[in-house]
Chain A
């Protein structure tokens, strides 16, 4: 990060003329002016576009976002209203071997975390064996005692996960954090792809990009596979998406996913619980609900069990859950596994349950409850990133190299007062990728959030959301703090194989790249919904 940036060479005008390189890994360039093999075509295309053309293309993309109302709400600003989600036109490209490794590593991770959750909410073997300190779990705000010995379908606690990956200067990917409660951003991933197909169709064709449009089908299949044990076999499992409502920052995503999956979008006030069964209020009377994809935090789910002042939840929902009459995806209490302090133990967790080495490593992390770590971190605060364990969205974070002495002192006090609540990581040189900034192309820091689904099996949609820290030099990629996003292209390794003689030609259902549409129609003819 502190190395002198170098400029690219160019003889004629090029939009890359002011492109900054430093010691972080650059996605596009392996050395000044020399793009990596898989970026050559993109580089050539961008070089061939004049500044006005670049600007016009960006404007066309922005207009699409505006007209479609692809927005999110930002808290903590004066306006606090809908903002168009900032997007950058230049796609980020990942090769097939790189993706293959990510897929293996994240599949491993979600399976291990589910086994971990099952264990700590039941016998707690991993705690008795001293692999993870007991007090770490019980002191976690998100550990829910209500979940002790509660059985859930397939023992799947986390069925939808968004894991944040960063690429180190060496070029290797590492896990920055898991998001196991209510991960968001997948609708922007789908929207980015739609816009990019419109804006760079030829480029899209030239590369062999894995499609991602099957995400809603995969998500629906995952949700349905978790139907509760007691549901009536007379009908398909009735699945709904529970949203906090229009005021929520991710509301666009809730409506988008509900529409793409063909399921009802409900708010707390549309549901009621009677005799421990959940119903929704429809024009045809009350209809039973079996699976709830809930985008409401644990705290707000049930005023009778959790926060009594919540108007977003459903009174009695937890009782219906415990009675096994409804499934919640994700389960209650998963926050204990994405606690940033527990994160440090995930490699050990993988080894314990799966007997495997983690395919994708963690980023080095210091627990501040440990005295020697704490001492070292407090001495070097200006080189560290300190995070509050329960926060998300980039809030409650200190970025050492960009902080003032006053901010560092404030964090020092906070750490001494409550060391369990903080972890520290050395400032990472996140990888950089080319972005269209005004008329030119310059590099910005990015990360990657793939989405992992787990129901009957693990499903990953190739790519994910690449988030960009748009302000120059910034390391914070979260949308709530001014970040933006890019389309992510995972390349197919080779063309679809020709059918062998005697074999019927036809599309193979490939979880990564195929057209895995659900076989049955979402609605029966005659106007009545199937669920």
Chain B
């Protein structure tokens, strides 16, 4: 398929994943805030925004309005929820003939609904319906894509974009969390910090699945193990990397290209996650481990562009 088109599908998918993640995160944080001590909540949010490189200037505490404004509605921020949906739709619009008409209709509908949401009523603690609507919309888009688009090369770029974005976002969120909270790995957390860990799990959509795997007892080592190494839960780092590698392999087959750089990086990451022990990771430091993951993903992203989207023409012609 055209390189430009593959590029657009990849980015559309990354933006959609970003929007879905933001919607879930903000929804969870707003709910959590109701239970937290006021100052603790504000501090937590400032830390969160700093990790996302979205913190407002100055030292003032971050309020609910500020959080929602920054992460959801701020159009001058390219990574805000609204900007992400607009970018996703714009990317798809450029390659509209690649997707089914149902896919386009759904994304267009989601976009129109999000753009409509301008009133101040939405910008307060009552954002739940709106944020839930965004998540439902992105899930519906995913389902429609899986059901109506041929699972060929184009579909693989959509999967690749989703899982690259997911890996990067998870690494950022989990890394920030572990960096901030003191923890003795093997002990159950104190009540005061209980909410923070719940926040982390729910922010990844992982709370219920975690409980199924480990019961409601929150131990940092178990949380780390679940979010980093669980092979079955769709929002674990390991799962995302597995999917990334599978897509890259299929794409290499479909394009008759040698596996090359992207497959090597992905393979390396996957091996690390398959064969690491959680205790080793935690003793070396979870934030450090996750920073490595982020770095590798950035390299992977660059390699994908190099091989499939932006390759120099002279080299092609020579071969």
Contact = CB atoms under 8 A, between A and B. Distances in A.
Interface of A: 66-69, 246, 255-256, 258-259, 264-267, 269-270, 272, 274, 280-286, 523, 527-529
A282 B2 contact: yes
Interface of B: 1-6, 93-98, 101, 104-105, 108-109, 112, 150, 152-153, 251, 254-257, 308-309, 313, 316-317, 319
5 contacts: A255-B96, A264-B2, A270-B2, A283-B153, A527-B153
Nearest to B251: A283
A68 B105 contact: yes
B3 A259 contact: no
B254 A281 contact: no
Given A281-B313, A283-B251, A286-B317, A256 B97 contact: yes
Which 8 residue pairs spanning A and B have beta carbons closest together?
A: A259-B97, A284-B255, A527-B152, A255-B96, A283-B308, A255-B97, A258-B97, A281-B3
A283 B255 contact: yes
Contacts, number: 73
A256 B257 CA distance: 31
Contacts of B105: 67-69
A292 B131 CA distance: 45
A246 B2 CA distance: 16
Contacts of B317: 274, 286
A259 B96 CA distance: 8
The SS class assigned to the B binding surface is helix
Contacts of A284: 254-257
A281 B4 contact: yes
Contacts of B95: 265
Contacts of B251: 283
A265 B94 CA distance: 10
B309 A283 contact: yes
Please indicate which of the listed interface residues B97, B105, B251, B256 has the most CB atoms of chain A within 10 Å of its own CB.
B97
A68 B101 CA distance: 8
Contacts of A267: 4
A480 to B, nearest CB: 21
Given A269-B4, A527-B152, A286 B313 contact: yes
Contacts of A269: 4
A28 to B, nearest CB: 33
Nearest to A252: B96
A264 B98 CA distance: 9
B257 to A, nearest CB: 7
A246 B4 contact: no
Nearest to A287: B2
A274 to B, nearest CB: 6
A523 B251 CA distance: 17
A282 B109 CA distance: 30
